[in-house]
Structures are given as structure tokens and as C-alpha cells.
Amino acid sequence: MKPTGMHEACGVIGVVAPGREAARLAFFGLYALQHRGQESAGIATSDGRAAYLVKDMGLVAQVFNEENLSRLRGEIAIGHNRYSTTGDSHVRNAQPYLIETLHGPLAVAHNGNLTNAAALRRELLRRGVGLSSTSDSEVIVQFLAASAESWGEAEEGRDPWVDRIRALMRRAEGAYSLVLLTRSAVYAVRDPRGFRPLVLGALEEGGFVAASESAALVTVGARYLREVEPGEIVRIDAQGLTSFVGHPPKNPALCIFEYVYFARPDSRLEGRTVHLVRQRLGAELAREAPADADIVIGVPDSAIPQAIGYAHALGLPYSEGLIKNRYIGRTFIQPDDALRKNAVRLKYSPLAANLEGKRVVLVDDSIVRGNTAGPLVRLLRDAGAAEVHVRVASPPVRHPCFMGLDMATYDELIAHNQGLEAIRTRIGADSLAYLSLEGLLRAVGKSGHCTACFSGDYPLPIPPWLFEVDREKRIFEGVWGEG
């Protein structure tokens, strides 16, 4: 994660593993999804009689240990890594949410953000349902529990949860890739536009996994099967996978930023390996904005494939110029004021031997607030770079995201009201260029994505007041999402 800018979406995993401890698989799956959220982690399980839950603030490795994992009994589990806004950092917002319902325990882990969460929240409060957090994910779990579909006993052979999930999908607007845990099944659910990824895999020893990214399937020894389709509900239980139409699909809108930055490079999205798409982003950028330079370097780790693609397309040497401290992660120890001013130095060190006297192209995946690019340029100059040309492998981010990303408000986005030359001056680069939206779409090579933070073209109506309020108010009203 960059020190500033756009933060990752959350990561979710659901596991059904007959004869095995599902919590251990969920744990390692969450490990593989750590990049999607470092604020809190949690796992809920069921052994068919009772449900169990462990969640806390911190990284997966900080939250779980042998003792608490062994308390998570059962062959089915769901897990969650969370990133939300810093002001909203509190264990009460950690996931999964686990409650008792008429039909047994229900736990929910959510990746996304409901754009009508405030309305659903008010509706629940009016119906006398108490809420204990500001999270739209709690709204989802309570909405499922309190759904009118749940009144009375379920018909013979009918799955009451599928009816309730459908009822939720009729009402919920926005982005949601969900995994739900009930007494004896896991449900994987994707909103009708498919904003956030969700994939299915088969465990070699039997059983199935649903996860935010295919990289997590590899980690737990599962074979990739397919994506959960937009609008689909998949029930996973001891009998296998059962697919239901949850809601007819709407205009497809997978977040294009998953390709740009969020997803792991070794994950597959829409049948494409993210790393290869990122190389193509770099090649497109080279065609649109070549630079006269000696070496090309990337901002590690997220912009390395783009830098390789850029260098290759221009026949320039790709080199390492910045070393990232891979162990800094998320810390609760705040740096003092002097260190905070140099926050980028805590994370990146220049490789002076590769930089001295060189005209350097620095490729980054994106610039959101612009707090990182300037210090990185300074770092390279201090290490002896003769020139620093910044190339950004995505278009300027000009609009906020309401579909599950803790991005920034209009005021915080450097490109919202500043032109190219003003940004170049601010970050102190010798030249600056961004990839065009057309170039981004060409590199991704498939239509049907959300591009709203670049284009302002939101795939669904956004309540106008959401553009007005600042983030603190969004948090307060419980409408800012779960990443």
C-alpha cells in the first residue's frame, strides 16, 4: 500500500472443506489477500451446531494465532480483511458480522460499498432494528435477518437464505461481493454490475472456495473454476456448488482500478492475468508518451509490470531504482512529525548505484492525491538522477469513488482542479504524462468496466448529496463503505 492515495478494496474468502478445519484455509486465504486490507481481519466458522468468530484490528498474522484458530471449529468458514477510512478504524467495524437469526447463525463479509446504505439504514432503524456500527456491511446482515422473506417457516425444499439474498439484491444499490455463512453453507454473492471481483475454486481434497482474487485460490491449493457472475448467488455446501439467479445482470462495471493497482499481479480477472495487462498499460503509455532517457524504473511493487512494459516498448533498459521496505506494513506506531514529513522515506530507498547521472523514467500506476510522487522524485534526485520523467500508467484521477474504495474527496484529488503543468511543477518532475482513457481501455482489451474515477461516468446514479459531504460525515452517517 502506498503511504497516501487510494486504499485497497477489502478481501473476502469463503471455504467449505469437508473433513478439514476450514478456518486454517480461510486464514491462509486471507494472508494471500492481505494487500486488499490491512486494518482488521476476521474469520467466522460453523460446525453445524454453533458458529464461532474471531476478529480484531491488525494484519492477519497479528490477529490470529494457534489458540484462537483452534477455537474456530467447523468445516465451513468465511473471512475478511478490511480497509476503510482511518477515522472509522474501530474493532466494532471489523468483519465478519455474526448474528443469530430465525434460521440459525448468519455471518457476512463484504467487499464494496452500498450507495443507498443511508436509506437502508434508516429503514432498519425505523423497523426497530438496532445497529452497533457505522458499517454498511452491518446493514446487509441485519437486512438479511429482518427481511420479510424470513417471516414464517421455510417451505419444504426451499432455501430461505436465497430468497432473502434476492430481496436484498432488489434493494441494495452499489458494489457488493459478499460471502455469507449460515449453519451449513457458504453463499457467494456478486452485485448485478460485478463491481468487485469474486472467483470460485475447487479444493484438491474436496470442497470449494470463493475468494476476492484467484491468487488466494492458489495459496489454499484450490483449482480455479470460474468467476461468480454479476447478479449470481452461489451456494456452497457439502453437496457442492448450486447457482441461483439473484438479480438479472445490469450494465457490467468491474472496477478498472483492479487492473491498474488493486489486484495482485498474479491474479486473473475476466480471464486475463493482471501482470500481463499491466505490462500492456506500460506499452500503451510508451506509445503515447515516450521519453528520452537512460533507464526506466517503476514504483515498487505495483508499477513494476507497467515499467517493464514501458521499457520494453521503447527498447530502454529496465532497472531497479527504488527498494521498498516490504515489512513496514501497517503499524499502530505513529511516526513523529519529522518522520511523517518524510513518510515516503520510511517505505522507499533509492538505489543510488543505478541512478547516478542517469536520465530516469519513473513509472507509477496512478497518482491520486500526489503526496507520494513529489517525495519520490526528490528521493531520486538526491540519489544523483540527472533527470526524472514521471509517466503514469493510468489517466488522471479526477472523481471520487463511491463503490468501495477509500479514495479521496474532490478537494483531495490532485488532478481534480489542477492541470498537467501545475502537477508537474508540484511534484518537481522534468516531464509528466498520463496514459489516456482510450489507452487504458485498449490495454485492458475488453469493454464493460467502471471508469468513473477517471471519466466521471458513474455506472449507476449517485445520490447528489454524496458528492457534497466530506468523508467524516459519510462515516458518521454510515454510508462510507467497506473497501
**Contact flag: residue 451 with ligand SF4 (CB under 6 A):** yes
Which residue lies nearer to ligand SF4 by CB, 308 or 368? 368
Residues 6+ apart with CB under 8 A from 135: 84, 88, 93, 95, 97, 478, 482
Quote the CA–CA distance of 314 and 233 in Å, as a whole number. Answer: 46
Which residue lies nearer to ligand SF4 by CB, 207 or 481? 481
Q: Which helix (H) or strand (E) holds 181?
A: strand 174-181
**Contact flag: residue 176 with ligand SF4 (CB under 6 A):** no
Quote the CA–CA distance of 304 and 476 in Å, as a whole number. Answer: 38
Report the site for ligand SF4 in 190-209 (rule: CB under 6 A).
195
Which residue lies nearer to ligand SF4 by CB, 161 or 262? 262
Written as one string, the DSSP assignment of 248-294 is: ---S--EETHIIIIIS-TT-EETTEEHHHHHHHHHHHHHHHS----S
* 11 CB neighbour count, 10 Å cutoff: 31
Q: Which stretch binds ligand SF4 (CB under 6 A): 11-19, 77-85, 125-133, 451-459?
A: 451-459
Report the site for ligand SF4 in 257-286 (rule: CB under 6 A).
257
Least Å distance, CB 39 to ligand SF4, is 18
**Side-chain half-sphere of 223: how many Cα atoms within 13 Å?**
7
Which residue lies nearer to ligand SF4 by CB, 72 or 254? 254
- Taking phi over 0 as left and psi of -120 to 50 as alpha, with beta for the rest, 326 belongs to alpha
Which residue lies nearer to ligand SF4 by CB, 101 or 111? 111
Report the site for ligand SF4 in 423-442 (rule: CB under 6 A).
none
Report the site for ligand SF4 in 217-246 (rule: CB under 6 A).
none
Report the site for ligand SF4 in 365-404 (rule: CB under 6 A).
401, 403
Quote the CA–CA distance of 22 and 72 in Å, as a whole number. Answer: 8
**Contact flag: residue 143 with ligand SF4 (CB under 6 A):** no
Least Å distance, CB 281 to ligand SF4, is 14
Least Å distance, CB 403 to ligand SF4, is 4
* 4 CB neighbour count, 10 Å cutoff: 17
**Side-chain half-sphere of 127: how many Cα atoms within 13 Å?**
15
Least Å distance, CB 255 to ligand SF4, is 3
Contact 212, 404 (CB under 8 A): no
Report the site for ligand SF4 in 243-262 (rule: CB under 6 A).
255-257
Residues 6+ apart with CB under 8 A from 209: 13, 14, 15, 16, 25, 29, 200, 201, 202, 203, 216, 217, 220, 222
Q: Would residue 10 show up in a list of annotated catalytic residues for this protein?
A: yes
Least Å distance, CB 366 to ligand SF4, is 10
Q: Which one of 10, 401, 450, 453 is the catalytic residue?
A: 10
Which residue lies nearer to ligand SF4 by CB, 202 or 469? 469
- Burial pattern 300-339, b for ≥16 Cβ within 10 A else e, equals bebbbbbbbbbbebbebebbebbeeeeeeeeeeeeeeeee
Count of residues touching ligand SF4 (by CB under 6 A): 11
Among 452, 460, 475, 479, binds ligand SF4 (CB under 6 A): 452
Report the site for ligand SF4 in 71-100 (rule: CB under 6 A).
none
* 187 CB neighbour count, 10 Å cutoff: 28
Among 144, 453, 460, 475, binds ligand SF4 (CB under 6 A): 453
Least Å distance, CB 143 to ligand SF4, is 22
Q: Which stretch binds ligand SF4 (CB under 6 A): 147-155, 384-392, 430-438, 445-453?
A: 445-453
Least Å distance, CB 78 to ligand SF4, is 23
> For residue 92, what is the DSSP state?
G
Q: Which stretch binds ligand SF4 (CB under 6 A): 84-92, 222-230, 314-322, 448-456?
A: 448-456
* 152 CB neighbour count, 10 Å cutoff: 9
Contact 23, 65 (CB under 8 A): no
Q: Which stretch binds ligand SF4 (CB under 6 A): 27-35, 181-189, 427-435, 449-457?
A: 449-457
Q: Which stretch binds ligand SF4 (CB under 6 A): 139-147, 227-235, 386-394, 450-458?
A: 450-458
> For residue 477, what is the DSSP state?
T
Least Å distance, CB 112 to ligand SF4, is 9
Least Å distance, CB 456 to ligand SF4, is 9
Which residues are identified as catalytic? 10
Interface ranges with ligand SF4 (CB under 6 A): 195, 255-257, 401, 403, 405, 450-453
